[in-house]
Amino acid sequence: MCGRFALTDTPDAVQSLLAVTDFEPFPPRYNIAPTQPVLMALSGPARPAGSNLPSRQSMLVRWGLIPAWAKNPDDFSLLFNARSETAAEKASFRTAMRHRRALVPANGFYEWRRVGSKRAEPYWIRPRDGGLIAFAGLMESWSEPGGTEIDTGAILTTEANEDLRGIHHRMPVVIKPEDFDRWLDCLNQEPRHVADLLKPAEPGFFEAVPVSDRVNKVANAGPDLQERVEPREVKDTDQKPGDDSGQLDLF
Protein backbone atom coordinates (compact mmCIF):
# COMPACT_ATOMS: atom_id res chain seq x y z
CA MET A 1 0.00 0.00 0.00
CA CYS A 2 1.02 3.63 0.14
CA GLY A 3 -0.17 5.48 3.23
CA ARG A 4 2.60 8.07 3.55
CA PHE A 5 4.89 9.68 1.01
CA ALA A 6 7.11 12.73 0.56
CA LEU A 7 7.55 15.47 -2.01
CA THR A 8 10.75 17.33 -1.18
CA ASP A 9 12.01 18.48 -4.57
CA THR A 10 11.58 22.05 -5.74
CA PRO A 11 8.53 23.35 -7.62
CA ASP A 12 10.84 23.87 -10.62
CA ALA A 13 11.76 20.18 -10.59
CA VAL A 14 8.07 19.20 -10.45
CA GLN A 15 7.29 21.52 -13.34
CA SER A 16 10.11 20.01 -15.36
CA LEU A 17 9.00 16.42 -14.71
CA LEU A 18 5.26 16.87 -15.22
CA ALA A 19 5.24 19.74 -17.75
CA VAL A 20 2.76 21.76 -15.69
CA THR A 21 3.09 25.39 -14.64
CA ASP A 22 -0.22 26.29 -13.01
CA PHE A 23 0.50 25.71 -9.32
CA GLU A 24 1.71 27.83 -6.45
CA PRO A 25 5.18 27.35 -4.93
CA PHE A 26 5.24 24.90 -2.04
CA PRO A 27 7.70 23.92 0.71
CA PRO A 28 9.27 20.47 1.03
CA ARG A 29 6.80 17.98 2.53
CA TYR A 30 8.39 15.05 4.34
CA ASN A 31 5.34 13.23 5.74
CA ILE A 32 2.25 13.50 3.53
CA ALA A 33 -0.71 11.57 4.93
CA PRO A 34 -4.27 10.72 3.87
CA THR A 35 -6.79 13.62 4.09
CA GLN A 36 -4.01 16.10 3.41
CA PRO A 37 -3.83 18.01 0.10
CA VAL A 38 -1.68 16.41 -2.60
CA LEU A 39 -0.59 17.68 -5.98
CA MET A 40 -1.77 15.84 -9.09
CA ALA A 41 -1.28 16.39 -12.81
CA LEU A 42 -4.02 15.52 -15.31
CA SER A 43 -4.60 15.97 -19.00
CA GLY A 44 -5.59 19.57 -19.66
CA PRO A 45 -8.30 21.04 -21.87
CA ALA A 46 -7.93 20.90 -25.63
CA ARG A 47 -5.62 23.63 -26.95
CA PRO A 48 -5.95 25.39 -30.31
CA ALA A 49 -3.46 24.49 -33.01
CA GLY A 50 -0.17 26.27 -32.49
CA SER A 51 -0.78 26.98 -28.79
CA ASN A 52 2.28 26.98 -26.57
CA LEU A 53 0.24 26.36 -23.43
CA PRO A 54 0.97 23.10 -21.55
CA SER A 55 -1.21 20.11 -22.42
CA ARG A 56 -1.50 19.16 -18.73
CA GLN A 57 -3.01 20.85 -15.72
CA SER A 58 -2.26 20.55 -12.03
CA MET A 59 -4.79 20.13 -9.23
CA LEU A 60 -4.54 20.16 -5.46
CA VAL A 61 -6.82 17.40 -4.16
CA ARG A 62 -7.72 15.81 -0.86
CA TRP A 63 -5.90 12.48 -0.54
CA GLY A 64 -8.74 10.05 -0.04
CA LEU A 65 -11.08 9.52 -2.98
CA ILE A 66 -14.82 10.02 -2.56
CA PRO A 67 -16.91 8.57 -5.42
CA ALA A 68 -19.05 11.19 -7.14
CA TRP A 69 -22.17 9.12 -6.42
CA ALA A 70 -21.55 8.89 -2.67
CA LYS A 71 -24.33 10.37 -0.54
CA ASN A 72 -22.30 10.52 2.65
CA PRO A 73 -18.49 10.11 2.72
CA ASP A 74 -18.72 8.93 6.32
CA ASP A 75 -20.23 5.71 4.96
CA PHE A 76 -16.93 4.86 3.23
CA SER A 77 -13.52 3.79 4.41
CA LEU A 78 -10.82 6.30 3.50
CA LEU A 79 -9.99 5.37 -0.12
CA PHE A 80 -6.42 6.65 -0.33
CA ASN A 81 -5.26 3.60 -2.33
CA ALA A 82 -6.87 1.74 -5.22
CA ARG A 83 -5.82 -1.75 -6.29
CA SER A 84 -4.71 -1.40 -9.91
CA GLU A 85 -5.79 -4.95 -10.73
CA THR A 86 -9.47 -4.21 -10.05
CA ALA A 87 -9.84 -0.40 -10.24
CA ALA A 88 -11.42 -0.50 -13.71
CA GLU A 89 -14.24 -2.71 -12.42
CA LYS A 90 -14.82 -1.36 -8.91
CA ALA A 91 -17.73 1.06 -8.62
CA SER A 92 -15.70 3.46 -6.45
CA PHE A 93 -12.91 3.86 -9.01
CA ARG A 94 -14.36 2.84 -12.38
CA THR A 95 -15.31 6.33 -13.60
CA ALA A 96 -12.05 7.94 -12.48
CA MET A 97 -10.06 5.12 -14.09
CA ARG A 98 -11.79 5.83 -17.40
CA HIS A 99 -11.91 9.63 -17.33
CA ARG A 100 -9.56 11.12 -14.72
CA ARG A 101 -6.23 9.32 -14.51
CA ALA A 102 -3.50 11.39 -12.89
CA LEU A 103 0.16 11.59 -11.93
CA VAL A 104 1.28 12.18 -8.33
CA PRO A 105 4.81 13.60 -7.98
CA ALA A 106 6.88 12.14 -5.14
CA ASN A 107 10.44 11.58 -3.98
CA GLY A 108 9.52 8.29 -2.33
CA PHE A 109 7.16 6.71 0.17
CA TYR A 110 7.15 5.13 3.62
CA GLU A 111 6.24 1.56 4.43
CA TRP A 112 6.15 -0.48 7.63
CA ARG A 113 7.48 -4.00 8.00
CA ARG A 114 5.36 -5.96 10.40
CA VAL A 115 7.09 -8.45 12.67
CA GLY A 116 4.55 -10.41 14.66
CA SER A 117 1.37 -8.67 15.75
CA LYS A 118 2.79 -5.69 17.66
CA ARG A 119 6.04 -4.73 16.00
CA ALA A 120 6.51 -2.41 13.07
CA GLU A 121 9.68 -1.02 11.51
CA PRO A 122 9.31 2.02 9.20
CA TYR A 123 11.28 2.34 5.98
CA TRP A 124 11.82 5.30 3.67
CA ILE A 125 11.62 3.85 0.16
CA ARG A 126 13.23 6.04 -2.48
CA PRO A 127 14.59 5.71 -6.02
CA ARG A 128 18.08 4.29 -5.81
CA ASP A 129 19.32 7.03 -8.15
CA GLY A 130 17.38 9.77 -6.37
CA GLY A 131 15.16 12.36 -7.97
CA LEU A 132 11.45 12.69 -8.62
CA ILE A 133 9.03 9.99 -9.68
CA ALA A 134 5.32 9.96 -10.48
CA PHE A 135 2.80 7.57 -8.94
CA ALA A 136 -0.29 6.55 -10.89
CA GLY A 137 -3.28 8.38 -9.43
CA LEU A 138 -7.02 8.79 -9.85
CA MET A 139 -9.02 11.99 -9.32
CA GLU A 140 -12.72 12.38 -8.55
CA SER A 141 -14.82 15.43 -7.66
CA TRP A 142 -17.52 15.07 -5.01
CA SER A 143 -20.29 17.58 -4.32
CA GLU A 144 -21.63 18.18 -0.84
CA PRO A 145 -25.41 18.47 -0.44
CA GLY A 146 -24.93 22.23 -0.14
CA GLY A 147 -23.22 22.37 -3.53
CA THR A 148 -19.58 22.75 -2.47
CA GLU A 149 -17.32 20.67 -4.71
CA ILE A 150 -14.28 18.85 -3.32
CA ASP A 151 -11.57 17.36 -5.53
CA THR A 152 -10.30 14.07 -4.13
CA GLY A 153 -7.81 11.43 -5.22
CA ALA A 154 -6.21 8.04 -4.66
CA ILE A 155 -2.89 6.37 -5.50
CA LEU A 156 -2.94 3.11 -7.44
CA THR A 157 -1.02 0.16 -6.00
CA THR A 158 0.24 -3.15 -7.35
CA GLU A 159 2.09 -6.20 -6.07
CA ALA A 160 5.43 -5.39 -4.49
CA ASN A 161 8.52 -6.30 -6.45
CA GLU A 162 11.07 -8.75 -5.10
CA ASP A 163 13.11 -5.99 -3.43
CA LEU A 164 10.21 -4.74 -1.29
CA ARG A 165 8.17 -7.88 -0.77
CA GLY A 166 9.88 -8.52 2.56
CA ILE A 167 8.57 -5.19 3.85
CA HIS A 168 5.03 -5.16 2.43
CA HIS A 169 3.14 -7.08 -0.25
CA ARG A 170 1.90 -3.91 -2.05
CA MET A 171 3.61 -0.85 -3.53
CA PRO A 172 2.49 2.24 -5.46
CA VAL A 173 2.46 2.05 -9.26
CA VAL A 174 5.22 4.20 -10.79
CA ILE A 175 4.59 5.65 -14.27
CA LYS A 176 7.71 6.28 -16.35
CA PRO A 177 8.08 9.70 -18.03
CA GLU A 178 7.91 8.13 -21.49
CA ASP A 179 4.47 6.76 -20.56
CA PHE A 180 3.00 9.97 -19.09
CA ASP A 181 1.09 10.95 -22.24
CA ARG A 182 -0.46 7.53 -22.74
CA TRP A 183 -1.46 7.22 -19.08
CA LEU A 184 -3.10 10.66 -19.00
CA ASP A 185 -4.84 10.34 -22.38
CA CYS A 186 -8.27 9.32 -21.14
CA LEU A 187 -9.88 10.48 -24.39
CA ASN A 188 -8.17 7.88 -26.59
CA GLN A 189 -6.77 5.35 -24.13
CA GLU A 190 -9.28 3.20 -22.25
CA PRO A 191 -8.20 1.42 -19.05
CA ARG A 192 -7.52 -1.78 -20.99
CA HIS A 193 -5.10 0.13 -23.22
CA VAL A 194 -2.95 1.24 -20.27
CA ALA A 195 -3.21 -1.91 -18.15
CA ASP A 196 0.38 -2.82 -19.09
CA LEU A 197 1.62 0.25 -17.18
CA LEU A 198 0.15 -0.99 -13.90
CA LYS A 199 3.05 -3.16 -12.85
CA PRO A 200 5.69 -3.21 -10.10
CA ALA A 201 8.82 -1.13 -10.47
CA GLU A 202 11.76 -3.04 -11.87
CA PRO A 203 14.06 -4.76 -9.35
CA GLY A 204 16.78 -2.37 -8.21
CA PHE A 205 14.73 0.76 -8.89
CA PHE A 206 14.02 1.46 -5.20
CA GLU A 207 16.12 1.22 -2.07
CA ALA A 208 14.64 0.84 1.41
CA VAL A 209 16.18 2.87 4.23
CA PRO A 210 15.25 2.03 7.86
CA VAL A 211 14.12 5.22 9.60
CA SER A 212 12.90 6.40 12.99
CA ASP A 213 9.37 5.62 14.13
CA ARG A 214 8.89 9.38 14.52
CA VAL A 215 7.38 9.15 11.03
CA ASN A 216 4.40 7.38 12.60
CA LYS A 217 3.13 10.72 13.89
CA VAL A 218 1.89 13.07 11.16
CA ALA A 219 2.85 16.14 13.22
CA ASN A 220 6.51 15.18 12.69
CA ALA A 221 7.35 16.58 9.28
CA GLY A 222 11.05 17.43 9.11
CA PRO A 223 13.92 16.08 6.98
CA ASP A 224 15.20 14.04 9.93
CA LEU A 225 12.40 11.54 9.21
CA GLN A 226 14.42 10.24 6.28
CA GLU A 227 17.69 9.74 8.12
CA ARG A 228 18.93 6.16 8.29
CA VAL A 229 18.74 4.42 11.67
CA GLU A 230 19.53 0.96 12.87
CA PRO A 231 16.40 -1.22 12.93
CA ARG A 232 15.20 -1.47 16.53
CA GLU A 233 12.83 -3.46 18.68
CA VAL A 234 9.34 -1.90 18.69
CA LYS A 235 7.64 -1.98 22.08
CA ASP A 236 3.97 -2.83 22.52
CA THR A 237 3.34 0.73 23.71
CA ASP A 238 4.96 2.37 20.67
CA GLN A 239 2.67 4.44 18.50
CA LYS A 240 1.64 2.77 15.28
CA PRO A 241 1.05 4.62 12.00
CA GLY A 242 -2.32 6.31 11.99
CA ASP A 243 -2.60 6.57 15.80
CA ASP A 244 -2.77 10.38 15.77
CA SER A 245 -5.29 13.01 14.81
CA GLY A 246 -2.86 15.64 13.53
CA GLN A 247 -3.83 15.31 9.89
CA LEU A 248 -5.08 18.29 7.92
CA ASP A 249 -8.73 17.53 7.15
CA LEU A 250 -10.14 19.42 4.17
CA PHE A 251 -13.76 18.85 5.25
Which residues form the catalytic set?
A: 2, 111
Check: CB of residue 180 under 8 Å from CB of residue 134.
Answer: yes
Q: C-alpha angle with apex 184: 180 to 187, nearest 5 degrees? A: 140
| Distance of alpha carbon 130 from alpha carbon 83, whole angstroms | 26
Nearest CA to 19 among 47, 37, 129, 2? 47
Beta bridge partners of 206: 127
φ/ψ (deg, to 5) at 44: -90, 180
- Residue 124 to residue 122: CA distance in whole angstroms: 7
Burial class (CB in 10 A: 0-12, 13-18, 19+), 139: buried
- With 0-12 / 13-18 / 19 or more C-beta atoms within 10 angstroms meaning exposed / middle / buried, residue 196 is exposed
Burial class of residue 204, CB neighbours in 10 A (0-12, 13-18, 19+): exposed
Q: Report DSSP state, residue 200.
A: P
Question: Which parts of 64-132 are beta strand (E)?
Answer: 81-83, 101-106, 108-114, 120-127
DSSP state, 207? E
